[in-house]
């Protein structure tokens, strides 16, 4: 088994475990819930084939759905996240840069790029997830406040994770 597959398998298990057993119970005033598990999709290597990216996104989404008892909400949101990730990376990263930077991590890509990447993808995921969850026009203010606050909380945890667990890139 190659090193990349092993790292991503461990990352999948750890993020699902954290989401289900720790972060599921963390809410701030019933408005903000972090969904750190999407970090798995964000940190997949650049050269991951699109079909595999969609399959892995669906698998992590349906796994979270099984624990949250939400039939398909997280799976659909994760598949949308994978699609937006493909678009964002194709727009912002040069094709020849894939050899130098294998993963879109904070240490590889820099804080400005990673913050923009995490923020935009998290906003898409959370907007779609919360609107699918409520699906009621009378709940628009509550849904928008949950969407914004949860996105801020999630991106904060992603940046914190990036600073804690990824080593600084050495300049040559």
Residue 100 covered by a domain: yes
Residue 136 covered by a domain: yes
Q: Of 67, 2, 1, which is closest to residue 37 (Cα–Cα)?
A: 67
Predicted confidence band of residue 95 (pLDDT cuts 50, 70, 90): low
pLDDT of residue 1: 53
101-117 average pLDDT score: 83
The percentage of the chain sitting over the pLDDT mark of 90, rounded to a whole number, equals 55
Predicted TM-score (pTM) of the model is 0.87
120-131 average pLDDT score: 94
4-30 average pLDDT score: 89
106-135 average pLDDT score: 90
Distance (Å) of CA 61 to CA 75, 95, 110, 140: 4, 28, 27, 24
pLDDT of residue 63: 95
In this predicted structure, the answer to whether residue 23 has a pLDDT above a threshold of 90 is: no
The per-residue pLDDT of the chain, averaged, comes to: 87
- Report how far residue 96's alpha carbon sits from residue 101's, in angstroms, rounded to the nearest whole number: 10
Give the residue numbers spanning the domain of 49: 3-24+34-165
Residue 171 covered by a domain: no
pLDDT of residue 171: 46
Structural domain count, the chain = 1
pLDDT of residue 135: 81
In this predicted structure, the answer to whether residue 50 has a pLDDT above a threshold of 80 is: yes
Residue 170 covered by a domain: no
């Amino acid at each position: 088994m190659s090193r990349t597959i092993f790292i991503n398998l461990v990352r999948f298990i750890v993020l699902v475990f954290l989401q289900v057993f720790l972060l599921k119970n963390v809410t701030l005033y019933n408005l903000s819930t972090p969904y750190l598990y999407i970090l798995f999709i964000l940190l997949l290597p650049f050269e991951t084939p699109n079909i595999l990216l969609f399959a892995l996104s669906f698998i992590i989404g349906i796994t979270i759905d099984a624990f949250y008892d939400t039939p398909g909400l997280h799976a659909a949101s994760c598949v949308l996240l994978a699609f937006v990730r493909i678009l964002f990376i194709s727009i912002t990263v040069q094709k020849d840069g894939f050899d130098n930077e294998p993963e879109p991590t904070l240490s590889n890509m820099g804080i400005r790029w990673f913050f923009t990447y995490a923020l935009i993808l998290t906003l898409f995921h959370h907007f779609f997830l919360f609107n699918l969850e409520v699906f009621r026009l009378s709940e628009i203010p509550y849904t928008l406040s949950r969407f914004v606050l949860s996105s801020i909380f999630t991106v904060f945890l992603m940046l914190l994770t990036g600073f804690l667990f990824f080593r600084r890139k050495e300049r040559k």
